[in-house]
Amino acid sequence: MPCYSAHAFFKPLQADSPVPVVHMPEETASVVAGQDLRQLGLLATAGTVASGVYRDAFLRYGLELVTPDAAGQRRVSESIARIKAGQLDEALGALLPVADAFGRSGSRMLILGCTEISLIGPQLAAVGTTLDALQIIAERTVDYALGRSKLASIYPPMPPSRDERAPGRGTSAGAADGP
């Protein structure tokens, strides 16, 4: 699901979906978990931050996710609005103080947790290490679809194909890992 804020409603959306939905925060956390990082900064909408979807996913991997203070979050919101208005340089200018504050507080990576912020990700990468959650979900979804990897976040597991539901075969074959 390529909308960060919509992950606050992930469980009911997945329950109503006939196909598995990939959980972006969970996939992002699973990528970071293999690195020597413990504290990361999150750049996301106020709604995404308030929902706790990133915090909860990162905590499952033993990672601390730091969010901006109130003034910093206002800058993030301002930046997102500027990106939507096509003012990318101004958006970057609004986010740089937030990125600097994360660095001073010990965060070693910025998680780009907003679709709009992904648009200025390369410029933010020039001032520090970033991880674009939108890029992660795109790569993970394609790799999964092509059978190159498993996902950390299929909820619920992929149902069996019609062939797997043939008489005498049961209904759980391959369910844990997808098709």
Report the catalytic residues.
3, 114
Exposure string over 138-173, b if 16+ CB within 10 A, otherwise e: eebbeebeeeeeebbbbbeebbbeeeeeeeeeeeee
Tally the C-alpha atoms within 13 A of residue 150's C-alpha that lie toward its C-beta: 11
Q: Pick left, alpha or beta for residue 67 (phi over 0 → left; psi -120 to 50 → alpha; otherwise beta).
A: beta
Peptide bond into 156 cis (omega under 30): yes
Give the burial class of 7: count Cβ atoms within 10 A of its Cβ; 0-12 exposed, 13-18 middle, 19 or more buried. Answer: buried
Q: Residue 65: which H helix or E strand, with range? A: strand 64-66
